[in-house]
Structures are given as C-alpha cells and as structure tokens.
Amino acid sequence: MQYQNPIIRGFNPDPSICRVGNDFYLVTSSFEFFPGIPVYHSTDLVNWRQIGNCIERPSQLPFETAKAGEGIWAPTIRYHLGLFYVTSTFKGYGNFIIHSADPATGWSDPVKVNMTGIDPSILFDGDKAYYCTNQRGADDREAISLAEIDPDTGEMLSGARMIWHGMSNDRPQYLEAPHIYHIGNWYYLLAAEGGTGFSHMITAARSRGIWGPYASCEKPLLTNRYTKGTGVACSGHGDLFEDGHGNWWIVHLATRPDDLWYSHIGRETFLLPVTWEHDWPVIDDGVSHIASEGPLWAEQKPLEPWQADFSCRQNEWLLVRKPIWENYEFLGDQLLLIPSTDQLSSPLGQPTFLGMRQMDIECTVETEISFDPAADGSEAGLVIYIADYGYYAFGIKREQGKKWIIVYRQDSSFVPVQIPAENGPIRLKIKASKQEYTLSCACSRQSFQRISTVPVLTKADAGKGFTGTLIGLYALCSASEKSKAAILSFTMKQGT
C-alpha cells in the first residue's frame, strides 16, 4: 500500500518507537520547549495523534537553563512488564530515565544515569536491562558504550564497556543515536553517523553476544547523502521495530530541504519498510523517499485542522523554557495572555508565548485577538519562531500613544512594517509556503488585507537548525502593562 512521508510532519526529530499489542507509541526530541518529549499514538503506522508529553511538570528538569538547541535530546521509548520507559539527555543535566504505566500522562520524576555520552537507549533482554550511549573511552575515539543498569533507579550494575567504533572503525564521524536489539540469534546495533546534516546516515553492526565483538555491515543501512534533488535529505537516526504482523520497519528523521539539506520547519519523522537478507536488515535502495510503499493495513488520511480549546492546556501547545503559568488564563471561550517583560529575543527568557509545531510546509494559521495596550512598547499577536535569534512577530503594538499593526524580525537587516490599527478585535492570518509567509489582517468582519510577505527563516537566521518552526501566540511589554491580550480563536490547517 502506498503512503506519503513524513508520517509525522513538522519539527519532530530523533524518533523512537515501541509497540504494545496493536498500539504504537512514538517520541521525538523537543529541546528547550516545554512540555518536553511529545508522545504520539497510532494503530496503523501512518495516522498519528499526539496523546501527551513525557515531561509535563516544570519540576522534572531544569528548563530555565536551556538555551536554544539545548534541553532535551534524542529520547528512546521502550515497554517492559507493564511500564513504558523513556530515556533521554538534558543538556547540562545528563542522562535520565522516566517511566509511566500510561504513556499519555503520569510520568515519573527522572532518575539520573551516571553514564556520559548522548542519545541513550535501553534494551530489555530477559530479566536484565542494558543502557547504551556514545560515551567515549580513555583513547577518546568515538564509540558506542554499554552497561547493565537498574532502569527504575538508574543505578549502573556494571561498568561501561566500549562495544563498537562505528562503520569506519578508526575514523567515525559523529557516531551517535545507538539502539541495540536482540533479534533471533543476533544482537544488532544501529547508530547514526555523519552528523545531522547532508552526510547523515544509519549504520549497523551485529554480534552473537550482547558485549560483542560487533561486526559492521559493509555499507550504510540508509543515507540520502548521494541523492540531491530527491526532495529528501539528512536521513538518519532510526529505530527498528516489528509491527505485529511479521513485517519490519524503521522510523527515522529526515528533512524536506529548502536548499542542500536545511528545512525551516525542522527535521521530521519518516517511515520505511525493512526486509532481511543474510540476517542483515535491508532498506530497499538504501534511500528515503516521500512516496513510499509498504505492507500497511490502513489508508493514510489527510491531516485534520487543529483548533484551540481554551478550556484547557492542550498537548500540542509549547512554551519556551520553564513556563510562568500565571501569565496564561484559559477561560473556555478565550485565552488571556499577560504580557511579559521577558522578550522573545532573550537567550534564557521565559516570555509569554504559546506555539505549536508548524504542521506542514504549506499551512494556514488564523487567530482573532482583542488587545488595547495601555503602555508604549506593549505588543501581542502571532509569532513565527525557531529560536530567540530567529523569529517574526506579527501583531498589535502601542507606540507613541497609538495602536499599530506591526511586522518585524529579530534582525537589523529587516525593514519593519507598521500601519495604523483600528479599535476592536483584529483577525490575523499567516499563509505558509515553501519559500515565504504571507501575513494578512482584517478588522471586524472585513476581508483580509495583505500586510507583508516575508521569506522563511533560513539556516543563517536560525543557527544550526536543531529545532524547527513553531507558529503561535505571544504578548510582551517593555515595562509594566495592565491590559491583557484576549485571544478569541486560534486555528491551523494544512494547505493554503
């Protein structure tokens, strides 16, 4: 059956998956955004819904310390004896494990694992649990290391032992993202090499015993490094699984690039079928594609429009770093935002901001806002955000005692837009395409008028590009502001 990649669109890198009966659960990286580690659910592999977040309480991890691109990296999800386990890295905190009986909620406080390296993974094998990262040894060669652990306490029950040095052995590059599997009579080790850009790939090795020695597969399992112009780049960082029907698959990250490899909406989650040859996993031509085919049992459906429910904090909403919940009032028929003096441009700020992942390259976002700021410098509206050094603001602002519709970017080379704003609620619309965003507004029940067309945020605007574009709501002030921004509606839908 045919399907289209990515299966989870927008900023969703480093996917990891587990199956429990007929249900599949998938997690991805979330970096400095809170809540952390989104949990997606599916019964058919191609239609996914976010059901929760693993890091749902600010007390679980020190988000206030997370600069852009830091925070949570590369989670792994596994299921064992009635519990879901997720392990990940928090930059500056280290590796940790959490668990829950219900993947949608109720995740434990983290236990730390005293093992260095990033991208940790767990293998439950019989009555033992093993933990692997890309911890290096005394000779400082890139390596994958393994230890036996207690997954409930994080205690290491053995020393960490290097088990593999990558496909090129003496000269691996960015060896990371290890996953170990016990399949048949073999232990398989999958990893990522080549960095998360154009040279990214998935490599593999196998051994008869958990501790090795591991023999490398002679070529990468997957890479798009030689396939410029196919519409897919950066393929790597995968997790292997069986679907309960005897079929094998891999989920992995990739981009739909703007240029050679970068995508402003971020690295996304792709799915490919896997077969076996001579006891090695094989991916057809070793390349990821948009149009794919595999042994599915359900049709892939279009994405449904998303509409905010202001009676609760929905799973899809993201904040920057540790939330200040008193700045958000969910009243059912509307959301009140209290402007913060922390700005969107602050490297460690906690601005009033609610965003959601841009759901596709082409999408449309609309909101209706009522805001009558009392102080000069106060503003609220929509924001297109990748990082504190890469965003557009589009909203209402008071300057010199007057109210304006404004568009600006955190970049001195961009010429801001400022036009007079009428009183009363104002509707704002963003139409996203591969190259640009078209920004429009409408007062009262009038038709939309284009205000500006701005280019998408490039790699130069957004740094390394670990994250991807969020589109959402914000409210800021330069000093104190007694007025609140009333958000009357917010919707996002696929297409323009």
- Catalytic residues, by residue number, are 14, 176
Tokens read off for 176: 């990371």
> What is the residue type of 283?
I
User: In Å, what is the CA distance from 436 to each residue of 70, 264, 368?
Assistant: 27, 10, 22
> How far apart are alpha carbons 341 and 364 in whole angstroms?
29
Q: Which two tokens stand for residue 76?
A: 């792994």
Helix (H, G, I), strand (E, B) or coil at 63: helix
Backbone φ, ψ for residue 254 (5° rounding):
-165, 170
CB 208 within 8 A of CB 186: yes
Count of CB atoms within 10 A of residue 6's CB?
Answer: 24
Please state the separation of Cα 247 from the chain's center in Å.
Answer: 27
Q: Other C-beta atoms within 10 Å of 34: how many?
A: 25
- Count how many residues are written for the chain: 496
DSSP 257-312: -SSSS--TT--EEEEEEEEEETTEEE-TTS---SEEE---SSPPPPPPPEE--BTS
Q: Is 302 exposed, middle or buried (0-12, 13-18, 19+ CB in 10 A)?
A: exposed
Nearest Cα neighbor of 395 from 404, 387, 416, 386 is: 404
- Compute the distance between CA of residue 95 and CA of residue 348 in angstroms, rounded to an integer: 22
Asked whether the beta carbons of 110 and 88 are under 8 A apart, the reply is no
* Residue 469 burial (10 A CB sphere; 0-12, 13-18, 19+): buried
First to last CA, the chain: 28
Shortest CA distance to 252 belongs to which of 319, 299, 202, 293? Answer: 202
